[in-house]
């Protein structure tokens, strides 16, 4: 029998923290599980990333209701991954679901496969998965960048460039200087790179760093609310990507096979990054994609439930 995915044995329930970052911005974080962000405008509420299931969304709604009774009007999808988007059906029926045009293209191209694959990999993250009615479809897409006015509150929604996926979107409050980065930035959590563009990701980080945020809600991990935390979040993410892609490029140039590159990456990266959550879970996917990109495959190959198992058998045993 195949060894279970590292994450299938990860059953410990995480503690949720609800942090106020500015007068109208909040972080919903959970010790390295996927985060959400909340922006409260004059006339309604915007959520960045929905939680994984409609049942799980109820806890986020309860946190929002502890600070406002304004209607929840918008959801922004930072990217297409199931664990970020499938909670949408837990909100008001006529909620607007905003995504970059590129993210919508990824849902068309690989949303179904990703949903099946993510649920298999990480069952704990999909509590009450029977409440998921199916894929989440954006109702409003944009190209490049859009601005949403929640009354007098300006929210810029920016397709920042390729990185964690090719559709990565951030939400930015220019007046409050609060940034919701999605999985482009992680803090104390291992970046998942199965759909990544390693060559482009650091440049995308430079672009969002140039916004000059004083607080960042990362994709996973605690909010970054001091200059030192922001430097560590951005620098740590960048360092991980560069270390791993460097190993993959050297391995491909030397003609090594995937397993050899994987073993070296684990050996060399574990001392530096092994304490980050989901390290063991991410590495097989991250090395597989790094190896492909180093070989010149531009569009990440689609992960399916079957491909996951094949890859895990080949690398992790």
- Residue 162 binds to Zn ion (criterion: CB under 5 A): no
- Residue 49 binds to Zn ion (criterion: CB under 5 A): no
Distance CA 224, CA 238 (A): 16
Q: Which residue stretch of 61-69, 182-190, 250-258, 278-286 sits at the interface with Zn ion (rule: CB under 5 A)? A: 182-190
- Residue 183 binds to Zn ion (criterion: CB under 5 A): yes
- DSSP calls for 48-60: ES--SSHHHHHHH
- Residue 186 binds to Zn ion (criterion: CB under 5 A): no
**C-beta closer to Zn ion: residue 197 or 249:** 197
Find the helix or strand (DSSP H, E) in which 142 lies: strand 140-142
Q: Which residue stretch of 12-20, 39-47, 66-74, 181-189 sits at the interface with Zn ion (rule: CB under 5 A)? A: 181-189
Instruction: State which of positions 68-87 bind Zn ion (CB under 5 A).
Output: 81
CB of 81 to Zn ion, least distance (A): 4
Distance CA 303, CA 115 (A): 10
- Residue 118 binds to Zn ion (criterion: CB under 5 A): no
What does the buried/exposed string (b/e) look like for 147-184 if buried means 16 or more CB atoms within 10 Å of the residue's CB? Answer: ebebeebebebbbbbbbbbbbbbbbbbeebbbbbbbbb
Please identify the residue of the shown chain whose CB is closest to the bound Zn ion: 81
**C-beta closer to Zn ion: residue 60 or 193:** 193
Distance CA 164, CA 160 (A): 11
CB of 260 to Zn ion, least distance (A): 27
DSSP state of 98: E
Find the helix or strand (DSSP H, E) in which 36 lies: strand 33-40
**C-beta closer to Zn ion: residue 24 or 181:** 181
**C-beta closer to Zn ion: residue 41 or 161:** 161
CB of 164 to Zn ion, least distance (A): 6
Instruction: State which of positions 263-292 bind Zn ion (CB under 5 A).
Output: none
Instruction: Look at residue 28 and give its three-state secondary structure.
Output: strand
Q: Which residue stretch of 52-60, 98-106, 178-186, 296-304 sits at the interface with Zn ion (rule: CB under 5 A)? A: 178-186
Sheet containing strand 153-159, edge to edge, reads 145-150, 153-159, 169-173, 178-182, 215-218
Footprint on this chain of Zn ion (rule: CB under 5 A): 81, 183
């Amino acid at each position: 029998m195949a060894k279970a995915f590292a994450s299938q044995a990860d059953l410990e329930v995480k503690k949720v923290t609800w942090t106020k970052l500015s007068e109208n911005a909040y972080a919903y974080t959970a010790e390295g599980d996927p985060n959400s962000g909340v922006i409260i405008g004059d006339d309604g509420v915007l959520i960045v990333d929905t939680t994984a299931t409609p049942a799980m969304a109820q806890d986020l709604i309860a946190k929002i209701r502890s600070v406002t009774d304004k209607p929840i009007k918008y959801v922004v999808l930072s990217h297409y991954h199931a664990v970020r988007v499938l909670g949408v059906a837990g909100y008001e029926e006529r909620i607007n679901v905003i995504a970059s045009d590129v993210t919508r293209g990824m849902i068309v191209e690989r949303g179904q496969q990703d949903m099946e694959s993510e649920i298999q990999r990480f069952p704990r993250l999909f509590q009450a998965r029977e409440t998921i009615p199916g894929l989440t479809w954006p109702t409003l897409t944009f190209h490049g960048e859009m601005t949403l006015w929640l009354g007098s509150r300006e929210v810029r929604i920016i397709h920042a460039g390729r990185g964690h996926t090719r559709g990565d979107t951030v939400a930015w409050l220019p007046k409050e200087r609060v940034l919701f980065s999605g999985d482009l930035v992680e803090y104390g959590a291992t970046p998942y790179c199965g759909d990544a563009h390693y060559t482009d990701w650091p440049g995308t980080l430079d672009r969002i760093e140039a916004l000059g945020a004083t607080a960042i809600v990362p994709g996973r991990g605690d909010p970054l609310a001091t200059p030192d935390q922001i430097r560590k979040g951005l620098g740590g993410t960048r360092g991980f990507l560069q270390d791993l892609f460097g190993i993959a490029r050297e391995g491909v140039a030397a003609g090594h096979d995937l397993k050899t590159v994987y073993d070296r990456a684990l050996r060399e990266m574990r001392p530096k990054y092994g304490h980050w959550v989901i390290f063991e879970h991410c590495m097989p996917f991250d090395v597989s994609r790094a190896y492909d990109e180093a070989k010149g495959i531009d569009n990440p190959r689609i992960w399916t439930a079957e491909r996951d198992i094949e890859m895990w058998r080949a690398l992790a045993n």
